[in-house]
Structure 1
Amino acid sequence: MQNSLETIHIYHTNDVHSHFDSWPQISRFLRSAREKHEAENEAYYLFDIGDHVDRSHPFTEGTIGKGNIALLNHAGYDAVTIGNNEGITMSKKALTNLYEGADFDVILCNLKETDGSTPKWLEPYHIYETEKGIRIGVIGATAMYSEFYRRLGWQIDEPRQSVRKIVHQIQDETDVIICLSHLGVYEDRLLAEECEQIDIILGAHTHHLFMEGELVNETLLAATGKFAEYVGHITISLDESKCVIGKKAEVIHVNKMERRQEDIKDVNALINAGNEAMEEKVFYNAEPLKQQLLKASSLSSFFGRAMIEYTDADCAMFNAGIFLSSLEKGWVTKRKLHSMLPHPINPCVITLDGSEVLEIYNLAQNADWPKMEIKGLGFRGTLMGKMIFERLYKNNEGELFAGNRQVVSGETYKLATLDMFTFGFFFPSLQQAEKEYYMPELIRDLVSWYGKQKASDKLSMTDHQNES
Structure 2
Amino acid sequence: MADTCTLHILHTNDVHSNFSNMPQIASCLRQNRQRWEAQGERVLTVDIGDHVDRMSLKTEATWGRANVGVLNRSGYQYVTIGNNEGITFPKEKLDALYEHADFTVVAGNLIEPASGQTPQWAVPYAVHHWPDLRVGILGVTIPFVPFYRMMGWDLREPLPLIREQVAMLRPQVDVIVLLSHLGYQADCQLAREVDGLDVILGGHTHHILEHGERIGRTLIAQAGRYGELVGHVRLTWDAAAKQVSGLSAELFRTNDYQPEPELDDYLRRETLAAETLLDRPAVSLSTDLDIGWTNETPFGSVLAASLRKWTGAEVGLANGGLLLTTLKHGPVSYKDLLTCVPHPINPCAVTLTGEQLLSVLKRAVQPEMVQRELRGYGFRGNQIGWMGVDGLRVWYRPGEQPDIERVEVNGEPLDLGRSYRVGTVDMFMFSRLFPELADGGEIRFYLPELLRDILAVTLGDDVLVRAGFEPRWLPVTI
Matches of 1:166 and 1:55, distance apart in 2: 32
- Paired letter, 2:215: V
TM-score by length of 2: 0.90
Contact 1:317–1:388 (8 Å) recurs in 2? yes
Contact 1:50–1:83 (8 Å) recurs in 2? yes
Task: Report deviation, 1:256.
Answer: 2.1
Contact 1:282–1:452 (8 Å) recurs in 2? no
Correspondence for 1:129: 129
Task: Report deviation, 1:455.
Answer: 10
Correspondence for 1:401: 408
The alignment partner of 2:249 has SS state of strand
Task: Report deviation, 1:344.
Answer: 0.6
Correspondence for 1:158: 157
Correspondence for 2:418: 411
Matches of 2:460 and 2:101, distance apart in 1: 36
Correspondence for 1:325: 325
Q: Does 1:87 align with 2:79?
A: no
Task: Report deviation, 1:18.
Answer: 0.9
Between the two proteins, the alignment pairs up a number of residues equal to: 455
Contact 1:4–1:237 (8 Å) recurs in 2? no
Q: Aligned in 2, Cα 1:297/1:456: closer, same or farther, shift over 3 Å?
A: closer
Matches of 1:266 and 1:398, distance apart in 2: 58
- Paired letter, 2:347: P
Q: Does 1:422 align with 2:429?
A: yes
Moved more, 59-68 or 445-454: 445-454
Contact 2:374–2:381 (8 Å) recurs in 1? yes
Task: Provide Cα deviations, 1:380-418, integer angstroms capped at 9, x if missing partner.
Answer: 111211122122223699442222343313422111111
Q: Which runs of 5+ in 1 are unaligned?
A: 459-468
Task: Report deviation, 1:79.
Answer: 0.7
Correspondence for 2:383: 383
Contact 1:317–1:390 (8 Å) recurs in 2? yes
Matches of 1:52 and 1:180, distance apart in 2: 13
Matches of 2:285 and 2:123, distance apart in 1: 46
Correspondence for 2:475: none
The alignment partner of 1:326 has SS state of coil
Correspondence for 1:345: 345
Matches of 1:131 and 1:36, distance apart in 2: 20
Correspondence for 2:447: 439
Task: Report deviation, 1:112.
Answer: 1.1
Contact 1:89–1:440 (8 Å) recurs in 2? yes
Q: Does 1:450 align with 2:458?
A: yes
Correspondence for 2:470: none
Contact 1:113–1:119 (8 Å) recurs in 2? yes
Matches of 2:425 and 2:201, distance apart in 1: 32
Matches of 2:124 and 2:140, distance apart in 1: 8
Moved more, 389-398 or 421-430: 389-398
Contact 2:145–2:155 (8 Å) recurs in 1? yes
The alignment partner of 1:15 has SS state of coil
Correspondence for 2:34: 35
Q: Does 1:303 align with 2:303?
A: yes
The alignment partner of 1:377 has SS state of coil
Q: Aligned in 2, Cα 1:88/1:349: closer, same or farther, shift over 3 Å?
A: same
Matches of 2:238 and 2:217, distance apart in 1: 17
Task: Report deviation, 1:304.
Answer: 2.2
Task: Report deviation, 1:326.
Answer: 0.7
Q: Which runs of 5+ in 2 are unaligned?
A: 397-403, 467-478
- How do residues 40-55 of structure 1 correspond to structure 2 at under 5 angstroms? 40-55=39-54
- How do residues 26-425 of structure 1 correspond to structure 2 at under 5 angstroms? 26-115=25-114, 116-132=116-132, 134-241=133-240, 242-259=242-259, 269-394=269-394, 398-425=405-432
Contact 2:23–2:261 (8 Å) recurs in 1? no
Matches of 2:251 and 2:49, distance apart in 1: 17
Contact 1:24–1:266 (8 Å) recurs in 2? no
Moved more, 390-399 or 365-374: 390-399
Contact 1:229–1:253 (8 Å) recurs in 2? yes
Matches of 1:367 and 1:118, distance apart in 2: 48
Matches of 1:303 and 1:399, distance apart in 2: 23
The alignment partner of 1:21 has SS state of helix
Task: Report deviation, 1:335.
Answer: 0.4
Task: Provide Cα deviations, 1:33-59, integer angstroms capped at 9, x if missing partner.
Answer: 233333333221110000110111111
Task: Provide Cα deviations, 1:177-227, integer angstroms capped at 9, x if missing partner.
Answer: 000011111111110000120000001111001111111011011111111
Q: Aligned in 2, Cα 1:388/1:457: closer, same or farther, shift over 3 Å?
A: closer
Task: Report deviation, 1:257.
Answer: 1.4
TM-score by length of 1: 0.92
Task: Provide Cα deviations, 1:243-274, integer angstroms capped at 9, x if missing partner.
Answer: 21111211111132135789877655544332
The alignment partner of 1:62 has SS state of helix
The alignment partner of 1:423 has SS state of helix
Matches of 2:81 and 2:359, distance apart in 1: 38
Contact 1:196–1:217 (8 Å) recurs in 2? no
Task: Report deviation, 1:78.
Answer: 0.7
Q: Aligned in 2, Cα 1:99/1:126: closer, same or farther, shift over 3 Å?
A: same
Contact 1:127–1:137 (8 Å) recurs in 2? yes
Task: Provide Cα deviations, 1:18-76, integer angstroms capped at 9, x if missing partner.
Answer: 11222111112212323333333322111000011011111111111110000000011
Matches of 2:386 and 2:262, distance apart in 1: 42
Please list every run of at least 4 consecutive aligned residues from structure 1 whose deviation after the TM superposition is greater than 6 angstroms. 260-266, 455-458
Contact 2:363–2:369 (8 Å) recurs in 1? no
Task: Provide Cα deviations, 1:330-372, integer angstroms capped at 9, x if missing partner.
Answer: 1111000000111111011111222222222222222211221
- Paired letter, 2:339: S
Contact 1:234–1:248 (8 Å) recurs in 2? yes
